[in-house]
Structure 1
C-alpha cells in the first residue's frame, strides 16, 4: 500500500478522519466510549507524572493529553493509538529545558517548553513533507532496546529522591547515585511509606487486575490519604495549586531556537519512533498498517498546535495504546473521548489533583518506566548475536553516562556503525552439492558427505557488492583460490542484488589476473539488473555468454563437459586449454 494519496483518490484517503467516520459502525460507539474513558484513567495520571519528570507543572501533562490527542484523531492513521507524552520524551524534554532554563520560573519554563514543542512539531511536519518516514528505521532494534533501558535507569534514579522525600542537587550519574546513597538516612519516613504503598498498589493491580485503571486508583488513594490523614503535616509534599480552566496561549521565543533545535530534532525522532512502533504493534487483522509519512504529519501538527496551548512534546504511548485496544477501541473516537475526559478534568477536578503527593507521582513514573528496561530483550539479543548485544550495551551506557540527548546521537551512531560493519563485511560461502540432488549449500561439518568438484571452486557472496565491501570480498576469495588452486572459479551471484561500478572494476581486474594464471572465472545466477551492468562493461565482453550461467546446475554441467573435452585432448595429444 502506498503511503501517499494520489490526485484521483477520495478525500477520505487524504484526510483520515473522513475515512474512519465514513466507515464507522453504530456497534462501535459503546466500546469506543468505554475504551476512551478507561484509557483516560491511565493516560491522565501518567501524563501528569511525566510532566514532573520534565520538571514542569502537572497541569502541563493534562494539556499534553488534550490537544495532541484531538489532532491525532483527525489526522492519524492508527485506530487505537493513544497520544500524549511518554517517559522517554519526558526525560529528553527535561534535559533540553535544563540547558536553556535551568532553575527557571514558571513563565520562563512555559516559553521554553512552547518553543521546544513547536520545534518538534516543525521537524515532524518537515519530515512528512520530505517523505522521511523511513528514518525511523535508522535505529536498530538492539540499539533501541539499549537506549530505552538507559532511559529507564535515568528516570528511576531521577524519581527515587521524590519517592523518599529527599532533596538533592543533581549532576552526573555517579554523583546522583552517591548523593542518593549518602542521603538515605535523611529520608522522610512518611514519604517513603506513601511511595512504597503506591508502588505495591500499582504492582498488585497490574498483576491481579491487569485491565483495571491502576494509575488512577493509585492516584485516588494518594489524594484520599492526604485528605483523611493530613499527610503534609508529616512532611509529605503535595502537588499544590493547579489552575482551573483552559490553558492560556503561550507564544514561543524564537531566540531560543538556536539552542533548542538539536534537542528538538532528537525528540522528534524518538516521538515518531515510539508512535509508529505503538501503532504497528496494535494494528489488528483487517486494519490498514499506520502509514509512516502520515504519522509524521499527524504527530507534527499535534505538537505544533499543542505548543501554543502549553503542552510538552507528545507522541504515541505503548501502555495507553494497549489499554485502549484491549478494552475494545475500534476507532479514533476513543481518543476523542479520552480528550473529552481530559477537558472535564481540567475544568472541574484541578483542585482535587492539587492534593496528590509527589511520592505518588514518582511511584507511578518508576513503576511504568522500569518496564522500558527489559532484561529478556537483552538476553534474546545475546542468544542470537553477541555483537548486537554489545551495541545495545553501548547505547545504554551512552544514555546513562553521557545524558539522554547525547544518548540519541550515540544510538544513531551505533546503528549506523553497525550497518556499516554489516555491509562492509558480507559473507562469502564455499558451496558443495547435496548428493543426489541439485541443492547447493555452504560447506558445513554437519554435511561432510556433500559433493565437491576438484578443480571447480563454487563461491557465493551475499548482499550488495560496492566500493565499501568489494575489497573485503576479494580478501576472502583470494586465500580460498590459493588453497584449492582450481581451474575454474564460479561465483554464484543469486544473492547479489547490486553490483556497483567500483566493485565491478575490481572484479574485472581480478578476472584478468586469474585468466593470466590459467584460472577461468564464471558468473552464475545474475539478476536482470546485475546482468545488464556486467553485459555493458568490459567484464561482460571478457566473459561472453559462455561463461555466464543461469544456475549452478548449468555451471556444473559445463564443468563436466570441459573436463571431458580436456581428457579427450590429452588422450589425443592435443594442447591443453
Structure 2
C-alpha cells in the first residue's frame, strides 16, 4: 500500500482557500460542544474532547484520501468505551478511567492497522446504497435524539432508541422553557437560512450572539446552561500503561470498537463520496484511522471516528479539501492556548441547535422516498438498516443491512431478466418479442434469453419458462446464454435433466452465445456430452442452421420474411422508436410531451414548434401519431394561439400528408401498412374528438377538390407550354 501525505492538497486550487479556511473555523467551533460531550460519555474529563480535536484530526487530514471527511471524537466509539468502563466497574471521570481509556484507544489503533494491512476496506463494496443511506440516516437520527434533551435543559442521552426515548421522557419534568425557546429559535433560524441563504455562516453569527447574550443577560439565572470553562494548555504526551487493562478484555473491547470505527466511517465516507462524485481508497482510509487513533492514545484521548455531523457542516459551507481539517486542528490549538475563556460563554441550546441542523442536512430520507417509488425491496433494506442502527446500535445496524442486501441480491438473481426472442421481417438480429408487434417468433422454435449466471436459486425459473411455452409445434429450444458467465452443480444437473426430457419429446435443445469458459465448466460439471452431441453451438444462427433453417427464417403465422435492402431495414427498424422507448406508456408519454409543448405555446406563441415535438428526429409512424394527438387538442391550440381553426387543421393535415408522401417515396413497402394504420388513427380520433374529426374531414375534402382542380389546370398549362417550346440543335428546350 503506497502512502502519500496530503493527497487532497496536491495541485491545490487557490480559489478554494477562503471556503476551506472558513469551513475549518466553523468546524472547530462546532467541535467544542460535540467533542466535550462525547469525551464525558467515554468516561474522560470534557477537556479531553478538545484535545482529541487537535492532533488526531491533523494526522487524519494528512493521510486521508477523502477531500471532505472530518475526524474526531464521536458518538459510537465514545458510547462503546463508556459502557465498557461501566462493565468493568470504573467510575466515569476518575483517575482509573483516565488510565484505562488510552489503553483501549491504543489497541483500537492496532486493530485498525491490522485491518488496513489485510485489505479489509473491500468489504464496503458489499454494502449497497440503500444500506449506506439507512445507516447514515440512522446515525444522524440517533445523535439528534442524543442531543435533543439538551434543548430542554437536560443532559445528552446515550444508548439506542429505547434508552434515548426514555431519557427524553425523563427530561420532560425538568423542562426549562427559556432553554427550549432559545434552542428552537436558533434551530428555526438555521433551517430557514439554509433555504434562503445557504452560503451565509449563520452558525457563526448565532454563536457570537450566544456569547453576547451570556455576557449581558442573566442566562444562568434563567436556567440556560453554558459550556463548562476549560483551563488553557495543550495535552501531555505519554505512552499508555498497557497493564491497566487485562489483555483479553482489552482485545475484545477494542476489537468491537475498531470494527465500528471502520464500518461506520467507511460507510459514511463512501456515502459522501458517491453524493459528491469522487472516489476514496478504502484501505488508505483505514490507515488514516490508525494514525488518528495512535496519536489519540498518546495524548490520553478516547477512540476517534469519522464525524458525520462535522462533515455535514463542512459540506454546508463548501469545504473542498482536507485543508479544512488542518485549519480546524490548528485553530483548536490557538483556542486551547489563548481562548478557553470564550468557551464558558457559549449557550448549550444554541450549540445543540447548530449540531441538530447539520445532522438534519445529512439525513437521506429523500433517498427513502425515491426507493419507495422505484423499488420497494430496496426501500425496506433502507428501513432495515435505519431501524437496525436506531434499535440495535451501529454495528448491528450495518450487519442487518448487509444481510438484507445479500438476501435482496439472491432474490434479484433468482428472478433475472429473461425473454423470448424473434425476428423483425427482413432483419437478421434477434430481439425481444414484446418489444414490438413487428417482431415474430421463428416457426417451431423457442429462442429464450436468460440474463444471469445459472445457479441453484434461478435454474427453476429457466425450466418453468421453457416448459410453459412448449407447444405441439415446437421443434427446438435455443437458449441464448450470452448473459451466463458461470453455473453451479445444481444448475448443471437440472439443465441435463431438461435436455434429456426435451430429447425424449423429439425437441432439440441448443445452448448458444455464451463465452468459451462456460464450455469448460460444462465439461467439469458432467455436461460434456451436450457439447459432443452438438447441442452447444456458438451462435443462434448456427443452431438454426443445424436444424436445417436457412435465412430468411420462416416466421410464425406465415409472416413474410423476405430479405430487404440495408436502407429499408434501417427505416423499418426506426419507424416506431417512440413506442420502443416508452413501451405501453407511449401514448401517455406523447400526451405528456404535447401538454408541455402547449404550456410553452402559452409563452412563445410558436405553433410551428408543436408540429415537430420535443422528441427530435421522430420517424414516420411516430410523427404521424404525434400529429394525430395534436389534432385532439385543436380547440385548445386555437384558443391559445388565436389562429383560425380551419387553417390550423389544414396545416396539420398537410404535414401528415408530407409524412405519408415521404414514407411512400423512400420505403414503398411500408406505404400500405402506413395507410392501414392511418385509418385506425382516424377511427380513434372520431371516437374521442368527433367535432375535431369533422373539421379534419372537411379539410381533406377541400384539399382533394383543390388537388383535382390543380391537376386539371396543370395538364392544360403543360400542353400550352409544350406548344410554346421548340428544340434547337443542342437538344436544350428554350422558352419562347
Q: Tell me the TM-score normalized by structure 2.
A: 0.65
Picking from 203, 208, 216, the partner of 2:191 is 203
Picking from 18, 21, 25, the partner of 1:41 is 25
Residue 238 of structure 1 and its aligned partner are, at CA, apart by 1.9
1:68-116 CA deviation, whole Å, 9 max, x = no partner?
A: 33223432334x2342248xx5245325523433794224555565455
Residue 475 of structure 1 and its aligned partner are, at CA, apart by 4.8
Partner of 1:16: 4
Partner of 2:359: 369
Larger gyration radius, structure 1 or structure 2: 2
Residue 280 of structure 1 and its aligned partner are, at CA, apart by 5.5
Picking from 258, 272, 282, the partner of 1:278 is 272
Query: What is the rounded CA distance, in whole Å, between the counterparts of 1:439 and 1:113 in structure 2?
Result: 69
Residue 270 of structure 1 and its aligned partner are, at CA, apart by 1.1
Residue 488 of structure 1 and its aligned partner are, at CA, apart by 1.6
Partner of 1:353: 343
1:239-262 CA deviation, whole Å, 9 max, x = no partner?
A: 213232222347364534323422
Residue 139 of structure 1 and its aligned partner are, at CA, apart by 2.0
Query: What is the rounded CA distance, in whole Å, between the counterparts of 2:547 and 2:309 in structure 1?
Result: 58
Distance 1:60 1:423, change over 3 A: farther
Query: What is the rounded CA distance, in whole Å, between the counterparts of 1:565 and 1:280 in structure 2?
Result: 48
SS in structure 2 opposite 1:315? strand
1:445-469 CA deviation, whole Å, 9 max, x = no partner?
A: x634421134311222222223x42
Partner of 2:440: 451
Residue 322 of structure 1 and its aligned partner are, at CA, apart by 7.9
Distance 1:75 1:170, change over 3 A: closer
Picking from 149, 159, 164, the partner of 2:147 is 159
Partner of 2:504: 516
Partner of 2:260: 266
Partner of 1:462: 451
* Contact kept in structure 2, 1:81 and 1:316, CA below 8 Å: no
Picking from 408, 412, 419, the partner of 1:422 is 412
SS in structure 1 opposite 2:31? helix
Partner of 1:528: 516
Distance 1:418 1:124, change over 3 A: farther
Residue 521 of structure 1 and its aligned partner are, at CA, apart by 1.6
Distance 1:443 1:184, change over 3 A: farther
* Contact kept in structure 2, 1:490 and 1:523, CA below 8 Å: yes
Partner of 1:571: none
Query: What is the rounded CA distance, in whole Å, between the counterparts of 2:553 and 2:164 in structure 1?
Result: 79
Partner of 2:495: 507
1:498-541 CA deviation, whole Å, 9 max, x = no partner?
A: 22344334323432333233222211111132233335664233
Picking from 54, 71, 86, the partner of 1:84 is 71
1:153-186 CA deviation, whole Å, 9 max, x = no partner?
A: 3222222211011469877635654664575464
Query: What is the rounded CA distance, in whole Å, between the counterparts of 1:67 and 1:115 in structure 2?
Result: 17
* Contact kept in structure 2, 1:39 and 1:320, CA below 8 Å: no
1:255-277 CA deviation, whole Å, 9 max, x = no partner?
A: 34323422431232111222344
Query: What is the rounded CA distance, in whole Å, between the counterparts of 1:302 and 1:238 in structure 2?
Result: 29
* Contact kept in structure 2, 1:40 and 1:342, CA below 8 Å: no
Residue 383 of structure 1 and its aligned partner are, at CA, apart by 1.6
Partner of 1:257: 251
1:292 correspondence with 2:282: yes
SS in structure 2 opposite 1:247? coil
SS in structure 2 opposite 1:248? coil
* Contact kept in structure 1, 2:419 and 2:450, CA below 8 Å: yes
1:364-388 CA deviation, whole Å, 9 max, x = no partner?
A: 2221222343332111111211111
SS in structure 1 opposite 2:221? helix
Partner of 1:575: none
My pick for the range that moved more, 454-463 or 315-324, is 315-324
Residue 492 of structure 1 and its aligned partner are, at CA, apart by 0.9
Query: What is the rounded CA distance, in whole Å, between the counterparts of 1:485 and 1:94 in structure 2?
Result: 70
Alignment of 1:56-67 (within 5 A): 59-67=47-55
Alignment of 1:227-246 (within 5 A): 227-246=215-234
Picking from 83, 103, 122, the partner of 1:98 is 83
Picking from 148, 154, 157, the partner of 2:136 is 148
Q: Tell me the TM-score normalized by structure 1.
A: 0.81
SS in structure 2 opposite 1:225? helix
How many residue pairs match? The answer is 540
Query: What is the rounded CA distance, in whole Å, between the counterparts of 2:309 and 2:165 in structure 1?
Result: 29
Distance 1:483 1:307, change over 3 A: farther
Query: What is the rounded CA distance, in whole Å, between the counterparts of 1:523 and 1:306 in structure 2?
Result: 61
Residue 333 of structure 1 and its aligned partner are, at CA, apart by 4.6
My pick for the range that moved more, 166-175 or 58-67, is 166-175
SS in structure 1 opposite 2:397? helix
Partner of 1:314: 305
- RCO (CA 8 Å, sep 6+): is it higher in 1 or 2? 1
1:203-246 CA deviation, whole Å, 9 max, x = no partner?
A: 24433332344433333322322122131121112221323222
Query: What is the rounded CA distance, in whole Å, between the counterparts of 1:178 and 1:71 in structure 2?
Result: 38
* Contact kept in structure 2, 1:514 and 1:520, CA below 8 Å: yes
Picking from 88, 109, 122, the partner of 1:134 is 122
